[in-house]
Amino acid sequence: MGLDEKWTELPAVQRRFLLFSVAVAIIFLLLVLRLWFLQIVNHEEYLERSIRNRTRVLSLEAPRGPIYDRNGVLLVDNRPSFCISVLRQDVEDRTRLLTRLAELLEVDRDVLEQRWQKGRHFPIYRPVPLATDVSREVLERIQEQGVDLPGVLTEVRPVRDYLEKGSAAHLIGYLGEITEEELASAVSRQSRAGDLVGKVALEKTFEPFLRGEKGRRLVEVDVKGKLLRQLQKESPRAGNKLYLTLDRELQRAADEAFGEQSGAAIVLDVENGDILAMLSRPTFDPALFARGIASDEWRELLNDQRHPLQNKAIAGQYSPASTFKMIVALAALREGIVGTKREIDCQGDFELGGSRFRCWKKAGHGPTDLKKALRESCDVWFYQVGLELGIDKLSAAAKEFGLGAPVGYPLPGEKAGVIPSQEWKRARFKQPWYAGETVIAAIGQGFVLTTPIQLAVMTAALANGGKVLKPQLIERIEDWQGNLLLRPETEVVREISYSDAAWKAIKQGLVAVVNEPRGTGQIARLEDVVI
C-alpha cells in the first residue's frame, strides 16, 4: 500500500492534526534558525545597537576663558549660579507647572513659556533652563514646593561675572543664547541649541578662544528616556585667557572723571597704539545679559535717546571742532602758506562773499601768529589759512592721519566718519564745492565728521612725530595651562613726512594751549607734569 493510500485512509481529524504539527515544527525550526542568526552570527552588531538605544551623551559646559587687564588684574570671570530647569518628560500638566513657577520666580508666565518652547528642539532627556542666576531665597522657595513641581530641577551652572560692571561693557560685550543662524555657521561642532555665545565686542570676536571645549557624560536611560545612571565622564577644558592692553586703574579713573555725561574717552599709548583706557557713556550692565535680560529692560536700553548700547568711542561720529585745527596748521606749513611768524589780524569775524564768519571771541584776538592761533584757538586765523589751503589739500592731509576711514580697531562696529572734498560732494549731493564750506571745514565743522578713536590715533601721530598706529586691544592670549597662543605686534599703518620745524611748531602750540596764559586748555594743567 502506497503512502497516498495510507494518507487517504486516515480520518480527517488525524490528517489535520498531522498538517498542523508539521507546520508548527517548520515555524519552530525557522525561529530557532533566526535566533541562532541573531545570537551567534550577528551578535556583535546587535549588541552595539542595543547599547546605543539605551545610552545617551550629555554635554558638560566648559568654563569660559577669563579676561584680564595688562597687569593681570581680573576683569571678567565665571561664578556658580543657581539655575531652574525642567525635564519635559516628567511634566504632565505644563500649564499648571509654568503658572506655579511664574509665581515663585516672580516673572511673567509668558517668559517661561517662551523658554519652554525653545527647549522643544532639545533631546527629551536634556533639562530645559527656565530661569538662570536666581537668588538663594527663590531657590529655597522652589525646593520647598518640590513635591508639587514634578520635573523641576535646581542646577548649579557657571555664569559670566563682569567685575567692572559697566565701566568696560562696550569693550568686553556680553553673552546671549545662540541663534539658528549662528548655529548653522558655528565654527565649533560642539555648538548646540541653548548655548550661550558672545554677542558683541570681545566676547563675540574672540568666541573661538574663550568658549573652551565641552566635556561629556555617557549615561544610561530607560525606554522612556529617563536617566538611570552615569557610565562614563570626560571633564570639560576651560577656555583660553585674554590679557587686554587696558589698565584697570586708568579705566576706573576715566570712569570716575566722566560721571554721568554722555560721550567717550580714550587713552592711547603713542608709541605702540595700545588702548590703555576706553570709555563710552552712558553704559549698561552686561550682567543683565548674563542672567537673561527681561523684555522691558531690553526695550528701555533700545529706546534710550542717549544710546547706551552704542560704543561712542568707535561708532560716534562728531564734528572734531578745534581738534581739527592742528591738521590745518600742519598742512599749511608743509605747503608754505604760513610760517611760524606770519600774523593774521583777527577782529572777531571773517568776511567772504558777503557772508560773515564769526570767531568764538567776539572782540577778536588781534594780530595772531601760528602759536597764538593754536594756543587761543583763533577761528579767524584758521578761516583764512584754510581758504588759502583749499579743501582738497586739507582733505588729503586729514586722511594721512587716519581721518575719514576706519583706523583698524580690532572689534566690529567702527564708523568711518567724513572728510569732505570737491569730489566727495559731487558724488554725494551732485553739487559743486563752495569756498564758504572750506572756511567752515577749517575749524572742524560743516561736513567734517570723525570718531573719538580716529582723533586719538591722530593725536598720537602728532605726539610721536608722524607714526599712524593701528590701535591694539589684545596684549596676549594664553591657553588654560599658560602657554602663549598670540601676542599682536605693534603695527605702523603709515609714517607721515613733515619737517622737524613743522612738528616742533605744532607741539609748541599744543603745550601752550594748556600751560600758558590765555591757553584754552588751562583747566587740564598739572603742577608737576607738562601736558
**Among all residues, which ones are annotated catalytic?**
322
Instruction: Compute the CA torsion angle 510, 511, 514, 516 (nearest 10 deg).
Output: -120
Give Cα separations from 319 to 424, 449, 454 (angstroms). Answer: 17, 5, 12
Q: Please report how the helices 109-118 and 94-105 are oriented relative to each other, as an axis angle in degrees rounded to 10.
A: 120
The phi and psi torsions of 520 (rounded to 5 degrees) equal -75, -10
Name every residue whose Cβ is closer than 8 Å to that of residue 508 and which is 6 or more positions away in sequence: 371
Q: Which of 259, 202, 270, 254 is nearest to 456 (CA)?
A: 270
**Distance between CA atoms of residues 452 and 442, nearest Å:** 18
DSSP assignment of 420-459 equals --HHHHHHHHS----HHHHHHHTTT-TT-BB-HHHHHHHH
For residue 282, say if its preceding peptide bond is cis, omega within 30 degrees of 0. Answer: yes
At residue 275, what is the residue type? I
Answer yes or no: are the C-beta atoms of 273 and 471 closer than 8 Å. yes
Burial class (CB in 10 A: 0-12, 13-18, 19+), 353: exposed
**Distance between CA atoms of residues 378 and 386, nearest Å:** 12
